[in-house]
Chain A
Amino acid sequence: MFGYPITPSTEILETWARFCLKDKSISLLQTEDEMSAGFGVIGSCLAGVPAFTATGGPGNILMQDAVVMAENLRIPMVGMIMQRGGMSTSTVIYSQEEVRLTCFGGNSEGFRIVYSTSNLQELYDYTIKAFRVAWKYRWPTFILADGYQGKMVGEVEFNKIMDKINNVSPILKKGVNLRNCYNLEEEINEKITRFQEEYQTKREEIEEAEEYELSDAKTIILAHGIVGAAAKVVVDELRKQGLRVGLFRPITLRPFPTKAASQIMDQAERILIMESAIGQLAEIFKSEFYGLQTTLIEINKPALGFTPEEIVKTVQSYG
């Protein structure tokens, strides 16, 4: 691991440091900043050794320097993003303000994979999965969570047997000369176009979503991460009250699970998009579903969480 302390991701760095005391097969470099952490991860991956960093907020901004290079050179870097508040330094525990940055940060087209987890078990499972997926598809891969998940204590079922990550081998080897600079617009145009075609071809293999009680839903709650977890809690309760409510929770924010969503989104009467930001999830959804006739209602609470109680009231208010 390469990392620089920033709340609320610091526990990952500290815990890894303790792991390193016991396990000599892993290592840690506490770097001078998040740019160094990101490029350190790239260096390790170039040598064929999986590596990751963990950061959030302003650290996530600095790390994007490395992420665009990882996109261009197809480096399977892994990052754990614990979202804190936006804008700027802001608060230190919670928001969903880093969706846009994590999915599309940098002078690139978002050639990356972003998992939004909703609880500790998922945080564990998708962290393992992130390494497998990153080395399989060779796109930078991120776990997007928040300070609540990062600092929460709870039970997690560990995988007793850990399969090896496939497809791991040195990237920078004899006969390989890599560059990020191009002389001709046509050259880089060809590369970006090729990457886009590959990304779009493979995306359905990568897309994941949790679909809960959607088959007859008149109202679909669209929420990710911990907001999705809060919404799931209330779906059963609302159904007991006779409201046909379901939850669509994208697990991959990038690529957005468009195939799964397209099966159900036009069958509902309304979609309530709930997020702790102003339309960052909504804008991804809308770009995928331009022309959708279903009513979209955006409930934005930048930097604030959603309680199950208020989700109940909100859904009830729409009937």
Chain B
Amino acid sequence: MADFPNFPNCYQIDSKPHKFCPGCGHPIVLKMLGQIIDEMKIAEKVIFMVDIGCSLLAWDFYDLPTTQTHHGRTIPTAVGFKMAAKGKIVVAYMGDGGAYAIGLQHALSACLRNSPITTIVVNNTVYGMTGGQMAPTTMEKEVTTTTPGGKKEFITLQGPELLRQAANRQAYLARGTTDKPLVLKQLLKKGIEAQLKGNFALVEVLSACPTNWKTKAPETIERMKDLSMVFKEGEF
């Protein structure tokens, strides 16, 4: 039997198994981030902040100073912390609803000001914790509990592309996917490095939500491919 790799050292072992649904993309993102924190040897400096929504389930995921905030308010809390403790590495972790709907003004303003924090946005195109309602990122014709006839109200919001229009040129904006965790890991690492250079970073991660998409594993994989057709991976 092959040896399984160890958990990242920065994991809080007591809180495992984690609280996310089977098949959820969050644990992949958190694992990649955990590996980076270990490899960069920055655990003593990292402050982790999570939003409302499924991201809050990570409030005790790491053995790192962590706080959960309110819906969309993780970015201003992170900005305030960083202003007061410039030597820390502050990571704001949230979903697409928190970053692009109820907290878009904060993402946009932090981007505009080039506030030196690292924002990770896990985009599963729905509001997960409340049971699968339409998000700004919901794709056209996508069926959600608030678009039972398929979404046709507005075009799909592209977060990093939108923010690029307003962002300071130094701000780092990227999109990865849980389908390609090692590529994602590199993007997350660059997101941390951007903060170390004094810049704002936002890394969006395309992610699966089998619970609300109501997909079985093969369909989930197919669905992730659909996402990659609509949302372009890379740096912006």
Contact = CB atoms under 8 A, between A and B. Distances in A.
B109 A36 contact: yes
A39 B85 CA distance: 15
Contacts of A2: 76, 80
B106 A49 contact: no
Contacts of B105: 32-33, 36
B215 interface: no
A44 B69 contact: no
Q: Which of A44, A45, A46 has its CB near the most chain B CB atoms (within 10 A)? A: A46
A51 B84 contact: yes
A181 interface: yes
A174 B76 contact: no
A45 B83 CA distance: 11
- Best-buried of A47, A51, A66, A170 by chain B (most CB within 10 Å): A47
Contacts of A31: 76, 109
B59 A181 contact: yes
Interface string B187-200: 00000000000000
B12 A177 contact: yes
Interface in B70-92: 70, 73, 76-85, 88
A181 B52 CA distance: 8
A39 B52 CA distance: 14
A27 B85 CA distance: 12
B60 interface: yes
A43 B68 contact: no
A39 B66 contact: no
Contact of A49 (B44, B60, B84): B84
A99 interface: no
B80 A177 contact: no
A69 B69 contact: yes
For this complex, into which size category does the number of interface residues on chain B fall?
20 to 34
B87 to A, nearest CB: 10
A48 interface: yes
Interface extent on A, as a size class?
35 or more
A36 B68 contact: no
Interface string A60-72: 0000011001000
B47 A172 contact: yes
A43 B52 CA distance: 16
B131 interface: no
Contacts of B82: 43
Interface string A17-32: 0000000000101011
A69 B70 contact: yes
A260 B89 CA distance: 49
Contacts of A170: 85
Interface of A: 2, 27, 29, 31-33, 35-37, 39-49, 51, 65-66, 69, 73, 170, 172-181
Interface of B: 12, 44, 47, 52, 56, 59-60, 63, 65-70, 73, 76-85, 88, 105-106, 108-109
11 contacts: A2-B76, A39-B69, A40-B76, A40-B80, A40-B83, A44-B80, A48-B84, A51-B80, A175-B63, A177-B60, A179-B68
Please name the 4 residue pairs, one residue from A and one from B, whose CB atoms are nearest each other, closest first: A43-B80, A40-B80, A49-B84, A47-B84
Given A40-B83, A69-B69, 12 more contacts: A27-B83, A31-B109, A33-B105, A35-B106, A36-B105, A36-B109, A39-B70, A39-B77, A42-B77, A42-B80, A43-B80, A46-B67
